[in-house]
Amino acid sequence: MLKKRILTGHRPTGPRHIGHLVGTLENWTRLQETHECFFLVADLHVLTTSHTQPEHIQKNILNMLADWLAAGIDPSRSTIVLQSIIPEHAQLALLFSMLTTVARLERVPTYKEQIKELNLQPSLGLLTYPVLQAADILLYKANLVPVGEDQLPHIELSREIARRFNQTYGHTFPKPDALLSEAARLPGLDNRTMHTSYGNAIYLRDTADETTRKVMSMYTDPTRIHPTDPGHVEGNPVFAYHDIFNPDKAEVEDFKARYRAGKVGDVEVKRRLAEVLNAYLAPLRERRAGLISQPKMLLEVLFSGTVKAKFIAQETLEEAHQKMGLMHSQSFSEKVLANNISGIFC
């Protein structure tokens, strides 16, 4: 049976953290077994919010790629694509922009949040961010898009664009479905959302010592002053991490019971967490160190995936051109060569 096609991606905004690992990368790694996967390095999308720091993008791309591969993304099974190298992404987005109203894009929740946060006049690029994302997905005629909940409005727009295109020009694009991962959302060290810009993340590239230091400084139960006070396990990120990273479930239950009863201190629970987390991350770190020492190999992985994707992208763009009444580039040159312009200007 033909495998369903997946396309998903990240913006290369910085190193990946353990929230990315358990929230998305482990899920992507599993999906490679059952699906044909395309993983997009969405560098054009980075420019929508930070086009003034060109020096960071390429470094971030290679670092993110090392994180992806160390986490289990396998370039011999999946296709890794560098968005900006394939102009068809931008070209299809331009065609899709004709099918999308400004009012529709102004209602996209991520856009509304961003303009509040950025505190500046939104660019046209930011407004059309989800149109470019729709092009990313539909260019490869992907069936499924594994994303976090915040991305659902973008997948909805992609579906609308596919539907409108198909209605107007005949069936061309499958309507992509979002695939929400069931993974629990990992809180940051300070119990807010784990986010690079909050300084509350443990990165895949952190050393074991750095990780231990971060764990020992984690937020716990603010109502608990002494280790003998009864503590709260719910809403306590130290236990959220134990639940995910500690394979010894009996130990976790014992910690929880003693914590609730005021019979174990934060330090002991955190020390053990640092140990289990470091054990969990050790094989990944080893792979990552090997990868980062071979930047040429990383570039080759990116290059070969991008070349493979380019063929598909080209074909889809040709199809879209033709259906929208534009010239098919191959028949254009054939007509000229054969001196056959009938059917063109009549």
Interacting residues with ligand TRP (CB under 6 A): 7-11, 40, 42, 45, 133, 136-137, 145, 147, 151
CA–centroid distance for 217 within its chain: 28
Q: What angle do CA 68, 272, 189 make, to 5 degrees?
A: 55
SS3 191: coil
Q: Locate tokens 């990992």: which residue?
A: 186
CB of 142: closest distance to ligand TRP in angstroms? 8
Contact between 140 and 38 under an 8 Å Cβ cutoff? The reply is yes
Q: Which of 139, 160, 35 is nearest to 94 (CA)?
A: 139
CB of 34: closest distance to ligand TRP in angstroms? 18
- Measure CA of the first residue to CA of the last residue in the chain; give whole Å: 46
- Distance (Å, rounded) from C-alpha 320 to C-alpha 165? 9
SS3 80: strand
Q: Locate tokens 């879209």: which residue?
A: 320
CB of 221: closest distance to ligand TRP in angstroms? 32
**Gyration radius (Cα) of the chain, Å:** 24
CB of 274: closest distance to ligand TRP in angstroms? 29
Query: Toward ligand TRP, which CB reaches closer, 67 or 136?
Result: 136
CB of 207: closest distance to ligand TRP in angstroms? 27
DSSP readout, 128-190?
THHHHHHHHHHHTT-SEEEE-GGGHHHHHHHHHHHHHHHHHH-S--PPPEEEE--PPPPB-TT
- Distance (Å, rounded) from C-alpha 16 to C-alpha 196? 8
Query: Toward ligand TRP, which CB reaches closer, 179 or 292?
Result: 179
Query: Toward ligand TRP, which CB reaches closer, 62 or 208?
Result: 62
For residue 340 the two structure tokens come to: 């056959």
Query: Toward ligand TRP, which CB reaches closer, 80 or 137?
Result: 137
Query: Toward ligand TRP, which CB reaches closer, 63 or 133?
Result: 133
Contact between 79 and 38 under an 8 Å Cβ cutoff? The reply is yes
CB of 188: closest distance to ligand TRP in angstroms? 17
Query: Toward ligand TRP, which CB reaches closer, 29 or 331?
Result: 29
Question: Which residue's Cβ lies closest to ligand TRP?
Answer: 42
Query: Toward ligand TRP, which CB reaches closer, 137 or 276?
Result: 137
**147: phi then psi, degrees, rounded to nearest 5:** -145, 170
CB of 269: closest distance to ligand TRP in angstroms? 33
CB of 54: closest distance to ligand TRP in angstroms? 19
CA–centroid distance for 322 within its chain: 32
Query: Toward ligand TRP, which CB reaches closer, 81 or 276?
Result: 81
